[in-house]
Structure 1
Amino acid sequence: MTTFDRSSFSLNGKVALITGGARGLGQFYSEALSLYGADIFVVSASQNGWDDTRQKVEQNGQQIGFLQQDITDPDAADHIIAAVLEQFGHLDILVNNAGIQIRNDVLDFKDEDWQKVIDVNLNGLYYLSHAAAKVMVKQQHGKIINIGSMQSYRAGKRIFPYAASKHAVLGLTRAYADALAPDHIQVNGIAPGYIKTDMTTALQNDPVRGPEIQGHIPSGDWGTPDQLMGPMVFLASAASDYVTGVMLPVDGGYLLR
Protein backbone atom coordinates (compact mmCIF):
# COMPACT_ATOMS: atom_id res chain seq x y z
CA MET A 1 0.00 0.00 0.00
CA THR A 2 1.40 3.36 -1.03
CA THR A 3 1.59 6.05 1.63
CA PHE A 4 0.33 9.46 0.62
CA ASP A 5 2.55 12.33 1.65
CA ARG A 6 4.09 15.48 0.18
CA SER A 7 6.35 13.40 -2.03
CA SER A 8 3.28 12.06 -3.85
CA PHE A 9 3.37 15.20 -6.00
CA SER A 10 7.13 15.12 -6.49
CA LEU A 11 8.47 14.62 -10.02
CA ASN A 12 12.10 14.32 -8.97
CA GLY A 13 14.02 12.14 -11.39
CA LYS A 14 11.24 12.19 -13.98
CA VAL A 15 11.57 13.25 -17.62
CA ALA A 16 8.66 14.98 -19.34
CA LEU A 17 8.31 15.33 -23.11
CA ILE A 18 6.04 18.25 -24.03
CA THR A 19 5.03 19.03 -27.59
CA GLY A 20 4.64 22.74 -28.18
CA GLY A 21 6.15 23.23 -24.73
CA ALA A 22 7.90 26.54 -25.36
CA ARG A 23 4.97 28.83 -26.11
CA GLY A 24 1.47 29.58 -24.91
CA LEU A 25 -0.03 27.14 -22.44
CA GLY A 26 2.69 24.63 -23.26
CA GLN A 27 5.29 26.85 -21.64
CA PHE A 28 3.23 26.88 -18.44
CA TYR A 29 3.18 23.08 -18.49
CA SER A 30 6.98 23.02 -18.88
CA GLU A 31 7.34 25.46 -16.00
CA ALA A 32 4.91 23.57 -13.75
CA LEU A 33 6.47 20.14 -14.21
CA SER A 34 10.00 21.47 -13.77
CA LEU A 35 8.94 23.29 -10.59
CA TYR A 36 8.09 19.90 -9.10
CA GLY A 37 11.35 18.29 -10.18
CA ALA A 38 10.97 17.00 -13.74
CA ASP A 39 13.53 17.49 -16.47
CA ILE A 40 11.89 18.76 -19.64
CA PHE A 41 12.24 17.92 -23.32
CA VAL A 42 10.41 20.31 -25.65
CA VAL A 43 9.47 19.55 -29.23
CA SER A 44 8.25 22.40 -31.40
CA ALA A 45 8.02 23.30 -35.06
CA SER A 46 10.07 26.46 -34.52
CA GLN A 47 12.53 27.78 -31.95
CA ASN A 48 10.19 30.53 -30.78
CA GLY A 49 10.17 30.75 -27.00
CA TRP A 50 13.13 28.43 -26.46
CA ASP A 51 15.36 30.91 -24.63
CA ASP A 52 12.59 32.06 -22.29
CA THR A 53 11.49 28.49 -21.56
CA ARG A 54 15.07 27.39 -20.92
CA GLN A 55 15.45 30.19 -18.39
CA LYS A 56 12.24 29.28 -16.56
CA VAL A 57 13.10 25.58 -16.36
CA GLU A 58 16.71 26.13 -15.31
CA GLN A 59 15.57 28.61 -12.65
CA ASN A 60 13.63 25.69 -11.19
CA GLY A 61 16.88 23.71 -11.05
CA GLN A 62 16.05 21.32 -13.87
CA GLN A 63 17.58 20.37 -17.20
CA ILE A 64 15.90 21.02 -20.52
CA GLY A 65 16.39 19.80 -24.07
CA PHE A 66 14.87 20.98 -27.33
CA LEU A 67 14.13 19.49 -30.72
CA GLN A 68 12.83 21.45 -33.69
CA GLN A 69 10.55 18.97 -35.38
CA ASP A 70 7.24 19.01 -37.26
CA ILE A 71 5.29 16.25 -35.53
CA THR A 72 3.42 15.50 -38.77
CA ASP A 73 6.60 14.48 -40.63
CA PRO A 74 6.99 10.79 -41.48
CA ASP A 75 8.82 8.94 -38.69
CA ALA A 76 8.69 12.08 -36.51
CA ALA A 77 7.47 10.14 -33.48
CA ASP A 78 10.33 7.64 -33.51
CA HIS A 79 12.83 10.44 -34.09
CA ILE A 80 11.45 12.43 -31.14
CA ILE A 81 11.48 9.49 -28.73
CA ALA A 82 15.01 8.57 -29.77
CA ALA A 83 16.15 12.15 -29.10
CA VAL A 84 14.63 12.13 -25.60
CA LEU A 85 16.23 8.81 -24.74
CA GLU A 86 19.59 9.94 -26.10
CA GLN A 87 19.63 13.00 -23.85
CA PHE A 88 17.95 11.69 -20.70
CA GLY A 89 17.94 7.90 -20.94
CA HIS A 90 14.26 7.45 -20.07
CA LEU A 91 10.81 8.95 -20.57
CA ASP A 92 8.22 9.11 -17.81
CA ILE A 93 5.67 11.73 -18.90
CA LEU A 94 4.33 12.64 -22.33
CA VAL A 95 2.24 15.80 -22.70
CA ASN A 96 0.55 15.97 -26.10
CA ASN A 97 0.00 19.71 -26.19
CA ALA A 98 0.78 20.79 -29.78
CA GLY A 99 -2.29 21.85 -31.72
CA ILE A 100 -3.64 24.22 -34.33
CA GLN A 101 -7.03 25.69 -35.16
CA ILE A 102 -8.38 27.00 -38.47
CA ARG A 103 -11.71 28.79 -38.72
CA ASN A 104 -14.06 29.11 -41.69
CA ASP A 105 -17.71 28.93 -42.64
CA VAL A 106 -19.10 25.48 -43.29
CA LEU A 107 -19.37 25.62 -47.08
CA ASP A 108 -16.06 27.43 -47.48
CA PHE A 109 -13.92 25.04 -45.47
CA LYS A 110 -10.97 23.79 -47.49
CA ASP A 111 -9.96 20.14 -47.67
CA GLU A 112 -6.31 21.00 -47.09
CA ASP A 113 -7.19 22.89 -43.91
CA TRP A 114 -9.13 19.88 -42.63
CA GLN A 115 -6.13 17.63 -43.28
CA LYS A 116 -3.67 20.04 -41.70
CA VAL A 117 -5.58 20.25 -38.41
CA ILE A 118 -6.25 16.51 -38.22
CA ASP A 119 -2.58 15.74 -38.93
CA VAL A 120 -1.34 17.92 -36.04
CA ASN A 121 -4.09 17.55 -33.45
CA LEU A 122 -4.94 13.89 -33.91
CA ASN A 123 -2.44 11.96 -36.03
CA GLY A 124 0.61 13.59 -34.44
CA LEU A 125 -0.77 12.83 -30.98
CA TYR A 126 -1.56 9.23 -31.90
CA TYR A 127 1.81 8.35 -33.39
CA LEU A 128 3.76 9.99 -30.56
CA SER A 129 1.62 8.25 -27.94
CA HIS A 130 2.20 4.96 -29.73
CA ALA A 131 5.98 5.44 -29.78
CA ALA A 132 6.07 6.60 -26.15
CA ALA A 133 3.93 3.68 -25.03
CA LYS A 134 6.52 1.22 -26.32
CA VAL A 135 9.09 2.79 -23.98
CA MET A 136 6.71 3.06 -21.03
CA VAL A 137 5.57 -0.56 -21.32
CA LYS A 138 9.17 -1.72 -21.07
CA GLN A 139 9.61 0.50 -17.99
CA GLN A 140 6.24 -0.64 -16.56
CA HIS A 141 5.32 2.93 -15.65
CA GLY A 142 4.43 6.20 -17.32
CA LYS A 143 1.98 9.05 -17.71
CA ILE A 144 0.42 10.27 -20.95
CA ILE A 145 -1.46 13.55 -20.70
CA ASN A 146 -3.45 14.73 -23.71
CA ILE A 147 -4.67 18.28 -24.09
CA GLY A 148 -8.31 18.32 -25.06
CA SER A 149 -10.66 21.29 -25.24
CA MET A 150 -14.18 22.46 -24.56
CA GLN A 151 -14.61 21.17 -28.13
CA SER A 152 -13.97 17.67 -26.84
CA TYR A 153 -17.58 17.96 -25.64
CA ARG A 154 -19.22 20.76 -27.62
CA ALA A 155 -19.83 21.73 -31.23
CA GLY A 156 -17.65 24.23 -33.02
CA LYS A 157 -19.60 25.43 -36.03
CA ARG A 158 -16.64 27.23 -37.64
CA ILE A 159 -13.81 24.97 -36.48
CA PHE A 160 -14.90 21.59 -37.83
CA PRO A 161 -11.57 19.72 -37.91
CA TYR A 162 -10.61 21.14 -34.51
CA ALA A 163 -13.87 19.93 -32.94
CA ALA A 164 -13.52 16.55 -34.63
CA SER A 165 -9.90 16.19 -33.52
CA LYS A 166 -10.61 17.14 -29.91
CA HIS A 167 -13.56 14.74 -29.71
CA ALA A 168 -11.18 12.08 -31.03
CA VAL A 169 -8.53 13.01 -28.45
CA LEU A 170 -11.08 12.22 -25.73
CA GLY A 171 -11.77 8.84 -27.33
CA LEU A 172 -8.08 8.03 -27.74
CA THR A 173 -7.41 9.00 -24.14
CA ARG A 174 -9.98 6.48 -22.95
CA ALA A 175 -8.84 3.74 -25.34
CA TYR A 176 -5.17 4.09 -24.44
CA ALA A 177 -6.02 4.26 -20.74
CA ASP A 178 -7.84 0.95 -20.98
CA ALA A 179 -5.12 -0.71 -23.05
CA LEU A 180 -2.15 0.46 -20.98
CA ALA A 181 -3.55 0.17 -17.45
CA PRO A 182 -2.14 -3.38 -16.96
CA ASP A 183 1.33 -1.90 -17.59
CA HIS A 184 0.93 0.70 -14.81
CA ILE A 185 0.60 3.56 -17.29
CA GLN A 186 -2.06 6.20 -16.72
CA VAL A 187 -3.52 8.11 -19.66
CA ASN A 188 -5.54 11.22 -18.89
CA GLY A 189 -6.25 14.63 -20.34
CA ILE A 190 -6.92 18.24 -19.51
CA ALA A 191 -9.67 20.17 -21.27
CA PRO A 192 -8.88 23.87 -20.79
CA GLY A 193 -11.81 26.23 -20.73
CA TYR A 194 -11.65 29.80 -21.97
CA ILE A 195 -8.20 30.93 -20.88
CA LYS A 196 -6.69 34.41 -21.16
CA THR A 197 -3.82 34.08 -23.62
CA ASP A 198 -2.48 36.06 -26.55
CA MET A 199 -4.34 33.69 -28.88
CA THR A 200 -7.70 34.44 -27.25
CA THR A 201 -7.30 38.21 -26.94
CA ALA A 202 -9.46 38.89 -29.99
CA LEU A 203 -12.19 36.61 -28.65
CA GLN A 204 -12.05 38.25 -25.23
CA ASN A 205 -12.44 41.64 -26.85
CA ASP A 206 -15.18 40.60 -29.26
CA PRO A 207 -18.18 42.79 -28.36
CA VAL A 208 -20.63 39.89 -28.83
CA ARG A 209 -18.80 36.64 -28.09
CA GLY A 210 -16.67 38.03 -25.25
CA PRO A 211 -19.63 38.84 -22.96
CA GLU A 212 -21.47 35.68 -24.09
CA ILE A 213 -18.61 33.46 -23.03
CA GLN A 214 -18.04 35.26 -19.75
CA GLY A 215 -21.75 35.07 -18.94
CA HIS A 216 -21.74 31.33 -19.61
CA ILE A 217 -18.98 30.67 -17.07
CA PRO A 218 -20.46 30.13 -13.57
CA SER A 219 -17.41 31.70 -11.93
CA GLY A 220 -17.90 34.74 -14.15
CA ASP A 221 -14.25 34.93 -15.16
CA TRP A 222 -12.02 33.67 -17.93
CA GLY A 223 -9.28 31.40 -16.65
CA THR A 224 -5.58 32.21 -16.47
CA PRO A 225 -2.78 29.91 -17.67
CA ASP A 226 -1.41 29.33 -14.17
CA GLN A 227 -4.73 27.72 -13.19
CA LEU A 228 -3.84 24.79 -15.45
CA MET A 229 -0.51 24.14 -13.73
CA GLY A 230 -1.88 22.35 -10.66
CA PRO A 231 -3.99 19.88 -12.64
CA MET A 232 -0.99 19.16 -14.86
CA VAL A 233 1.26 18.38 -11.90
CA PHE A 234 -1.43 16.18 -10.36
CA LEU A 235 -1.90 14.09 -13.51
CA ALA A 236 1.88 13.77 -13.99
CA SER A 237 2.58 12.66 -10.42
CA ALA A 238 2.10 9.56 -8.29
CA ALA A 239 -0.83 11.33 -6.63
CA SER A 240 -2.93 10.33 -9.68
CA ASP A 241 -1.76 6.72 -10.00
CA TYR A 242 -5.34 5.43 -9.60
CA VAL A 243 -6.78 7.96 -12.05
CA THR A 244 -6.90 6.94 -15.70
CA GLY A 245 -9.10 7.59 -18.73
CA VAL A 246 -10.22 10.97 -17.42
CA MET A 247 -10.45 14.20 -19.40
CA LEU A 248 -10.42 16.85 -16.67
CA PRO A 249 -12.19 20.09 -17.59
CA VAL A 250 -10.48 23.14 -16.11
CA ASP A 251 -13.13 25.59 -17.14
CA GLY A 252 -14.60 27.47 -14.20
CA GLY A 253 -17.74 25.38 -14.63
CA TYR A 254 -18.35 26.30 -18.29
CA LEU A 255 -19.60 22.80 -19.18
CA LEU A 256 -22.20 22.90 -16.41
CA ARG A 257 -24.40 25.17 -18.52
Structure 2
Amino acid sequence: MSLKEFDLTGRVAVVTGCSRGLGQVFARALAEAGADLIITSRNIESLKPFQAEIEALGRRCMPWACDVRDQKSIERMAEAAFQRAGKIDILVNNAGCNVRKPALDVTWDDWNLILDTNLRGTFFVSQAIGRLMIEEKYGRIINIGSVTSVNGYAGLGPYGASRGGVKQLTMSLADDWGVHGITVNCLAPGWFKTAQNAVMYEDAEWVEYLSDRIPLKRPGQPSDLRGAIVFLASEASAYITGQTLLVDGGITTGAVRALPKRDRI
Protein backbone atom coordinates (compact mmCIF):
# COMPACT_ATOMS: atom_id res chain seq x y z
CA MET A 1 0.00 0.00 0.00
CA SER A 2 1.12 3.55 -0.73
CA LEU A 3 -0.31 6.95 0.03
CA LYS A 4 -1.97 6.79 -3.41
CA GLU A 5 -4.63 4.65 -1.73
CA PHE A 6 -5.81 7.80 0.07
CA ASP A 7 -5.72 10.14 -2.95
CA LEU A 8 -9.17 11.45 -3.87
CA THR A 9 -8.13 13.34 -7.00
CA GLY A 10 -10.87 13.11 -9.60
CA ARG A 11 -13.52 12.08 -7.06
CA VAL A 12 -16.71 14.07 -6.45
CA ALA A 13 -18.17 14.25 -2.95
CA VAL A 14 -21.53 15.43 -1.64
CA VAL A 15 -21.42 16.61 1.97
CA THR A 16 -24.68 17.64 3.64
CA GLY A 17 -24.91 20.12 6.50
CA CYS A 18 -21.90 22.25 5.55
CA SER A 19 -22.85 25.66 6.89
CA ARG A 20 -20.71 25.14 10.01
CA GLY A 21 -19.12 22.67 12.39
CA LEU A 22 -18.07 19.14 11.60
CA GLY A 23 -19.61 19.25 8.12
CA GLN A 24 -16.96 21.77 7.13
CA VAL A 25 -14.26 19.69 8.82
CA PHE A 26 -15.25 16.67 6.72
CA ALA A 27 -15.60 18.61 3.48
CA ARG A 28 -12.29 20.42 3.92
CA ALA A 29 -10.43 17.16 4.56
CA LEU A 30 -11.90 15.58 1.43
CA ALA A 31 -10.99 18.64 -0.65
CA GLU A 32 -7.43 18.65 0.67
CA ALA A 33 -7.20 14.97 -0.32
CA GLY A 34 -8.18 15.94 -3.88
CA ALA A 35 -11.98 15.69 -4.13
CA ASP A 36 -14.30 18.23 -5.73
CA LEU A 37 -17.35 19.07 -3.63
CA ILE A 38 -21.08 19.61 -3.67
CA ILE A 39 -21.91 21.17 -0.30
CA THR A 40 -25.42 21.60 1.05
CA SER A 41 -27.34 23.48 3.71
CA ARG A 42 -30.90 24.68 4.06
CA ASN A 43 -29.63 28.24 3.45
CA ILE A 44 -27.38 28.48 0.41
CA GLU A 45 -26.09 31.91 1.42
CA SER A 46 -24.53 30.39 4.54
CA LEU A 47 -22.34 28.24 2.28
CA LYS A 48 -20.75 31.03 0.25
CA PRO A 49 -17.76 31.78 2.56
CA PHE A 50 -16.91 28.09 2.79
CA GLN A 51 -17.29 27.69 -0.97
CA ALA A 52 -14.68 30.41 -1.44
CA GLU A 53 -12.34 28.64 0.98
CA ILE A 54 -12.61 25.34 -0.91
CA GLU A 55 -12.14 27.00 -4.29
CA ALA A 56 -9.01 28.68 -2.95
CA LEU A 57 -7.62 25.15 -2.53
CA GLY A 58 -8.03 24.64 -6.28
CA ARG A 59 -11.11 22.41 -6.01
CA ARG A 60 -14.47 22.82 -7.67
CA CYS A 61 -17.23 23.50 -5.16
CA MET A 62 -20.94 23.80 -5.83
CA PRO A 63 -23.21 25.02 -3.02
CA TRP A 64 -26.83 23.85 -3.05
CA ALA A 65 -29.82 24.47 -0.80
CA CYS A 66 -31.16 21.18 0.54
CA ASP A 67 -33.52 20.42 3.42
CA VAL A 68 -33.04 16.75 4.32
CA ARG A 69 -36.53 16.71 5.87
CA ASP A 70 -38.03 17.40 2.43
CA GLN A 71 -37.92 14.54 -0.10
CA LYS A 72 -38.39 16.83 -3.11
CA SER A 73 -35.54 19.02 -1.91
CA ILE A 74 -33.31 15.95 -1.64
CA GLU A 75 -34.23 14.77 -5.12
CA ARG A 76 -33.56 18.22 -6.63
CA MET A 77 -30.16 18.30 -4.96
CA ALA A 78 -29.19 14.85 -6.24
CA GLU A 79 -30.27 15.70 -9.79
CA ALA A 80 -28.43 19.04 -9.76
CA ALA A 81 -25.28 17.48 -8.32
CA PHE A 82 -25.25 14.80 -11.00
CA GLN A 83 -25.92 17.27 -13.82
CA ARG A 84 -23.12 19.55 -12.64
CA ALA A 85 -20.50 16.90 -11.86
CA GLY A 86 -21.53 13.98 -14.08
CA LYS A 87 -21.08 11.52 -11.21
CA ILE A 88 -21.10 11.24 -7.44
CA ASP A 89 -18.38 9.09 -5.89
CA ILE A 90 -18.66 9.96 -2.20
CA LEU A 91 -21.57 10.92 0.05
CA VAL A 92 -21.17 12.19 3.60
CA ASN A 93 -24.52 12.28 5.42
CA ASN A 94 -23.61 14.91 7.99
CA ALA A 95 -26.79 17.04 8.29
CA GLY A 96 -28.24 16.62 11.75
CA CYS A 97 -29.79 18.31 14.76
CA ASN A 98 -30.41 17.77 18.45
CA VAL A 99 -32.76 18.95 21.21
CA ARG A 100 -31.21 18.33 24.62
CA LYS A 101 -33.98 17.71 27.19
CA PRO A 102 -34.88 15.32 30.01
CA ALA A 103 -37.00 12.50 28.64
CA LEU A 104 -40.16 13.72 30.40
CA ASP A 105 -39.86 17.10 28.68
CA VAL A 106 -39.41 15.85 25.11
CA THR A 107 -42.35 16.87 22.91
CA TRP A 108 -43.87 15.12 19.92
CA ASP A 109 -42.43 17.84 17.69
CA ASP A 110 -38.96 17.50 19.27
CA TRP A 111 -38.97 13.78 18.47
CA ASN A 112 -40.10 14.31 14.88
CA LEU A 113 -37.56 17.06 14.23
CA ILE A 114 -34.64 14.94 15.41
CA LEU A 115 -35.68 11.64 13.82
CA ASP A 116 -36.80 13.24 10.55
CA THR A 117 -33.48 15.06 10.20
CA ASN A 118 -30.96 12.57 11.49
CA LEU A 119 -32.45 9.22 10.48
CA ARG A 120 -35.08 9.69 7.78
CA GLY A 121 -32.93 12.35 6.12
CA THR A 122 -29.90 10.07 6.09
CA PHE A 123 -31.91 7.29 4.46
CA PHE A 124 -33.50 9.34 1.71
CA VAL A 125 -30.32 11.25 0.83
CA SER A 126 -28.58 7.87 0.63
CA GLN A 127 -31.38 6.54 -1.56
CA ALA A 128 -31.25 9.48 -3.97
CA ILE A 129 -27.46 9.44 -4.30
CA GLY A 130 -27.34 5.64 -4.16
CA ARG A 131 -29.39 5.43 -7.36
CA LEU A 132 -26.66 7.41 -9.14
CA MET A 133 -23.86 5.36 -7.62
CA ILE A 134 -25.51 2.12 -8.68
CA GLU A 135 -25.43 3.32 -12.30
CA GLU A 136 -21.70 3.94 -11.95
CA LYS A 137 -21.13 0.71 -9.97
CA TYR A 138 -19.04 2.62 -7.46
CA GLY A 139 -19.64 4.61 -4.30
CA ARG A 140 -18.51 5.49 -0.82
CA ILE A 141 -21.33 6.42 1.57
CA ILE A 142 -20.31 7.68 5.00
CA ASN A 143 -23.12 8.18 7.49
CA ILE A 144 -22.23 10.38 10.43
CA GLY A 145 -23.28 8.79 13.68
CA SER A 146 -22.15 9.53 17.21
CA VAL A 147 -20.93 7.95 20.40
CA THR A 148 -24.67 7.82 21.11
CA SER A 149 -24.94 5.27 18.30
CA VAL A 150 -23.63 2.74 20.81
CA ASN A 151 -24.03 4.36 24.26
CA GLY A 152 -27.02 5.89 26.00
CA TYR A 153 -26.93 9.26 27.81
CA ALA A 154 -29.54 11.05 29.90
CA GLY A 155 -31.08 14.00 28.07
CA LEU A 156 -30.29 12.53 24.64
CA GLY A 157 -33.08 9.99 24.18
CA PRO A 158 -34.38 10.97 20.72
CA TYR A 159 -30.89 11.90 19.52
CA GLY A 160 -29.48 8.54 20.65
CA ALA A 161 -32.39 6.74 19.00
CA SER A 162 -31.67 8.54 15.73
CA ARG A 163 -27.93 7.83 15.84
CA GLY A 164 -28.45 4.22 16.85
CA GLY A 165 -30.78 3.97 13.88
CA VAL A 166 -28.08 5.39 11.62
CA LYS A 167 -25.72 2.62 12.77
CA GLN A 168 -28.31 -0.07 11.96
CA LEU A 169 -29.22 1.61 8.67
CA THR A 170 -25.55 1.61 7.69
CA MET A 171 -25.38 -2.17 8.00
CA SER A 172 -28.58 -2.67 6.02
CA LEU A 173 -27.52 -0.42 3.15
CA ALA A 174 -24.08 -2.03 3.07
CA ASP A 175 -25.77 -5.40 2.53
CA ASP A 176 -28.17 -3.97 -0.06
CA TRP A 177 -25.62 -2.16 -2.19
CA GLY A 178 -22.34 -4.02 -1.82
CA VAL A 179 -23.11 -5.96 -5.00
CA HIS A 180 -23.03 -2.63 -6.84
CA GLY A 181 -19.53 -1.71 -5.67
CA ILE A 182 -20.80 0.66 -2.98
CA THR A 183 -19.46 0.66 0.56
CA VAL A 184 -21.53 2.13 3.38
CA ASN A 185 -19.92 2.92 6.72
CA CYS A 186 -20.69 5.01 9.78
CA LEU A 187 -18.21 7.48 11.25
CA ALA A 188 -19.14 8.04 14.90
CA PRO A 189 -17.42 10.95 16.67
CA GLY A 190 -17.17 10.91 20.44
CA TRP A 191 -17.37 14.09 22.49
CA PHE A 192 -16.43 17.01 20.24
CA LYS A 193 -17.30 20.64 20.85
CA THR A 194 -19.90 21.71 18.27
CA ALA A 195 -22.57 24.38 18.02
CA GLN A 196 -25.09 21.84 19.34
CA ASN A 197 -23.25 21.20 22.60
CA ALA A 198 -21.07 24.29 23.05
CA VAL A 199 -22.88 25.26 26.25
CA MET A 200 -21.60 22.08 27.91
CA TYR A 201 -17.98 23.05 27.25
CA GLU A 202 -18.47 26.36 29.05
CA ASP A 203 -18.64 24.35 32.28
CA ALA A 204 -15.04 23.63 33.32
CA GLU A 205 -16.14 21.10 35.94
CA TRP A 206 -18.09 19.14 33.33
CA VAL A 207 -15.13 19.16 30.90
CA GLU A 208 -12.91 17.78 33.68
CA TYR A 209 -15.56 15.14 34.46
CA LEU A 210 -15.76 14.17 30.78
CA SER A 211 -12.01 14.09 30.25
CA ASP A 212 -11.53 11.82 33.25
CA ARG A 213 -13.72 9.23 31.52
CA ILE A 214 -11.86 9.37 28.21
CA PRO A 215 -8.74 7.16 28.15
CA LEU A 216 -6.87 9.82 26.10
CA LYS A 217 -7.93 12.40 28.72
CA ARG A 218 -9.32 15.08 26.43
CA PRO A 219 -12.38 15.81 24.28
CA GLY A 220 -11.98 15.44 20.53
CA GLN A 221 -10.50 18.10 18.28
CA PRO A 222 -11.63 18.63 14.64
CA SER A 223 -8.24 17.42 13.39
CA ASP A 224 -8.94 14.03 15.00
CA LEU A 225 -11.62 13.35 12.36
CA ARG A 226 -9.72 14.25 9.21
CA GLY A 227 -7.87 10.99 8.70
CA ALA A 228 -10.96 8.89 9.42
CA ILE A 229 -13.17 10.62 6.85
CA VAL A 230 -10.52 10.43 4.12
CA PHE A 231 -9.86 6.78 4.94
CA LEU A 232 -13.54 5.82 4.61
CA ALA A 233 -13.88 7.83 1.39
CA SER A 234 -10.79 6.35 -0.25
CA GLU A 235 -9.56 3.14 -1.82
CA ALA A 236 -7.75 2.40 1.45
CA SER A 237 -11.10 1.20 2.85
CA ALA A 238 -12.24 -0.68 -0.27
CA TYR A 239 -12.94 -3.93 1.66
CA ILE A 240 -14.63 -2.31 4.64
CA THR A 241 -18.41 -1.91 4.67
CA GLY A 242 -21.24 -1.94 7.17
CA GLN A 243 -18.91 -0.83 9.96
CA THR A 244 -19.07 1.90 12.59
CA LEU A 245 -15.75 3.62 13.20
CA LEU A 246 -15.74 5.29 16.62
CA VAL A 247 -13.40 8.26 16.88
CA ASP A 248 -13.97 8.81 20.58
CA GLY A 249 -10.66 8.81 22.47
CA GLY A 250 -11.68 5.44 23.86
CA ILE A 251 -14.65 6.53 25.96
CA THR A 252 -16.71 3.56 24.76
CA THR A 253 -14.22 1.17 26.36
CA GLY A 254 -16.06 1.95 29.61
CA ALA A 255 -16.80 5.12 31.52
CA VAL A 256 -16.27 3.77 35.05
CA ARG A 257 -12.81 3.78 36.66
CA ALA A 258 -12.10 0.25 37.89
CA LEU A 259 -8.92 1.09 39.80
CA PRO A 260 -8.28 3.78 42.39
CA LYS A 261 -6.13 6.65 41.15
CA ARG A 262 -3.10 5.47 43.15
CA ASP A 263 -3.07 2.16 41.23
CA ARG A 264 -3.33 3.62 37.75
CA ILE A 265 -0.08 3.76 35.80
Normalising to structure 1: TM-score of the pair? 0.94
Q: 1:171 aligns with which of 147, 168, 171?
A: 168
Matched length: 254
Aligned to 1:84: 81
**AA of the residue aligned to 1:229:** R
**1:21-60, CA deviations, whole angstroms, 9 ceiling, x for partnerless residues?**
2310100111100101111001101236423311321122
* Secondary structure of 1:123's aligned partner: helix
Please identify, of 155-164 and 219-228, the stretch whose mean Cα deviation from structure 2 is larger: 155-164
**AA of the residue aligned to 1:242:** Y
Q: 1:212 aligns with which of 195, 209, 227?
A: 209
Q: 2:140 aligns with which of 116, 135, 143?
A: 143
* Secondary structure of 2:44's aligned partner: coil
How far apart, CA to CA, are the structure 1 residues paired with 2:120 and 2:157?
Answer: 16
Runs of 4+ in 1 over 4 A off after TM superposition: none
Aligned to 2:258: none
**Contact 2:66–2:74 at 8 Å: present in 1 too?**
no
Structure 1: 5+ residue runs without aligned partners?
none
Please identify, of 113-122 and 75-84, the stretch whose mean Cα deviation from structure 2 is larger: 75-84
Q: After TM superposition, give the deviation of residue 147 of structure 1 in Å.
A: 0.4
Q: After TM superposition, give the deviation of residue 141 of structure 1 in Å.
A: 0.5
**Contact 2:93–2:142 at 8 Å: present in 1 too?**
yes
Q: After TM superposition, give the deviation of residue 7 of structure 1 in Å.
A: 1.5
Aligned to 2:9: 12
**Contact 2:67–2:74 at 8 Å: present in 1 too?**
no
How far apart, CA to CA, are the structure 1 residues paired with 2:106 and 2:202?
Answer: 25
**AA of the residue aligned to 1:85:** F
Give the fraction of aligned pairs with identical amino acids, expressed as a percent: 36
How far apart, CA to CA, are the structure 2 residues paired with 1:156 and 1:102?
Answer: 13
What pairs with 1:34-49 in structure 2 (closer than 5 Å)? 34-47=31-44, 49=46
**AA of the residue aligned to 2:245:** L
What pairs with 1:150-165 in structure 2 (closer than 5 Å)? 150-165=147-162
Please identify, of 161-170 and 208-217, the stretch whose mean Cα deviation from structure 2 is larger: 208-217
Please identify, of 206-215 and 80-89, the stretch whose mean Cα deviation from structure 2 is larger: 206-215
Aligned to 1:183: 180
RMSD in angstroms over aligned alpha carbons? 1.4
